[in-house]
């Protein structure tokens, strides 16, 4: 907490006051291709801007193409040499995830970095078009499926180029606030037992569990791809659209703990690009430093159950 408030750097040399530009200073991402989900606004846009400024070819994956194209234009205005492509992606729709994967394949690009950034928070109970609770569907399952579909391309890229691939899952400190068993597998779609805050925490816990299990699997295959998860910090973005008044009151009372958008994108950019994390996988980062996640997030058995559960959901939706 002291470091969070003061901004004093941790072991990495960076801290809560560091910005995305700070942590990537001097890094040349030329010849790297990065997909960023939710890259049209908030910390996703800042992540896209900074990676493009470091010369990566950035693919902004977004549900709202008008916003995505506006984001692309803003990046080009900031850095005229930026390489930015926009593609439609609605993570709440498995069909859309599949279509995005096909659209990306037609670009015939390598894939070095996948940043699973997009998400929704605290929304009223609703089901996705695939019949899955919306926060779990969008924050976890959509990214789980997307990662599965893109993994062969990432493996191929890492092998042919010799450059380490990196997958970054955006989680949250909210993973601490979830259902008693972590993931309520038998109650995912139970409206009567739905709690918007715990459902969000559940989806963020799932992001860490997914990253950890995928990291273990890739390590066992000796694949040159790392997988880590991050907590970006408290940032006022569109993510709070379902709880505006409550969050504004909270921010007023805890203003010293909040970050601006450039600071909020720092940990993502650090984990995605910094050479100091070469070969480092299966970790959770806060303020650009490794941090101990909850015991549930570190539960290997739970991660394996979640993996199988997610695969079964895809199978039921005809996407196995």
Residues 243-290: pLDDT tens digits? 455 555 544 444 455 699 999 999 999 999 999 999 999 999 999 999
Nearest to 91 by CA among 153, 151, 173, 147: 147
Q: How many residues comprise the chain? A: 320
Give the residue numbers marked as catalytic: 194
**Cβ 89 vs Cβ 62: under 8 Å:** yes
- Tokens of residue 14, six digits: 């960076």
Q: Can you give the pLDDT at residue 254?
A: 42
Helices 42-53 and 266-273: crossing angle in degrees, nearest 10, is 40
The CATH number of domain 18-316 is 3.40.50.720: yes
Burial class (CB in 10 A: 0-12, 13-18, 19+), 286: buried
Q: How far apart are CA 142 and CA 159, in angstroms?
A: 26
Q: Can you give the pLDDT at residue 7?
A: 62
Residue numbers in the chain where pLDDT is lower than 50 = 1-4, 6, 237-243, 250-255
Q: What pTM was estimated for this model as a whole?
A: 0.93
Q: Can you give the pLDDT at residue 236?
A: 52
Nearest to 234 by CA among 140, 121, 125, 144: 121
Q: Can you give the pLDDT at residue 227?
A: 98
Domain-wise residue ranges, the chain: 18-316
Q: Can you give the pLDDT at residue 320?
A: 77
The DSSP code sequence of 278-307 is: TT--S-EEETTEE----TTTT-HHHHHHHH
């Amino acid at each position: 907490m002291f470091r969070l408030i003061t901004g004093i750097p941790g072991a990495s040399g960076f801290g809560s006051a560091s910005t995305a530009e700070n942590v990537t200073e001097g890094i040349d991402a030329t010849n790297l291709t990065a997909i960023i989900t939710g890259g049209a606004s908030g910390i996703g846009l800042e992540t896209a801007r900074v990676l493009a400024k470091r010369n990566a070819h950035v693919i902004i994956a977004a549900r709202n193409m008008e916003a995505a194209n506006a984001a692309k234009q803003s990046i080009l205005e900031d850095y005229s040499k930026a390489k930015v492509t926009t593609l439609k992606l609605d993570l709440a729709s498995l069909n859309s995830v599949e279509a995005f994967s096909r659209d990306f394949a037609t670009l015939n690009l390598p894939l070095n970095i996948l940043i699973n950034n997009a998400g929704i928070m605290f929304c009223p109970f609703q089901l996705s078009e695939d019949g899955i609770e919306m926060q779990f569907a969008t924050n976890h399952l959509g990214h789980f499926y997307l990662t599965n579909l893109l993994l062969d391309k990432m493996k191929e890229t890492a092998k042919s180029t010799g450059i380490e691939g990196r997958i970054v899952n955006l989680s949250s400190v909210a993973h601490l606030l979830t259902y008693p068993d972590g993931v309520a597998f038998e109650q995912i779609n139970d409206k009567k037992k739905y709690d918007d805050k715990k459902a969000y925490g559940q989806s963020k816990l799932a992001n860490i569990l997914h990253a950890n299990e995928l990291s273990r699997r890739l390590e066992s295959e000796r694949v040159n791809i790392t997988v880590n998860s991050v907590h970006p910090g408290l940032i006022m973005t569109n993510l709070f659209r379902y709880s505006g008044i409550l969050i504004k009151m909270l921010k007023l009372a805890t203003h010293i703990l909040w970050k601006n958008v450039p600071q909020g994108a720092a940990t993502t950019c650090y984990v995605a690009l910094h050479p100091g994390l070469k070969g480092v996988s299966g970790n959770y980062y806060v303020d650009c430093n490794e941090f101990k996640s909850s015991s549930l997030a570190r539960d290997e058995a739970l991660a394996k159950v979640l993996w199988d559960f997610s695969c079964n959901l895809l199978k039921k939706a005809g996407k196995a």
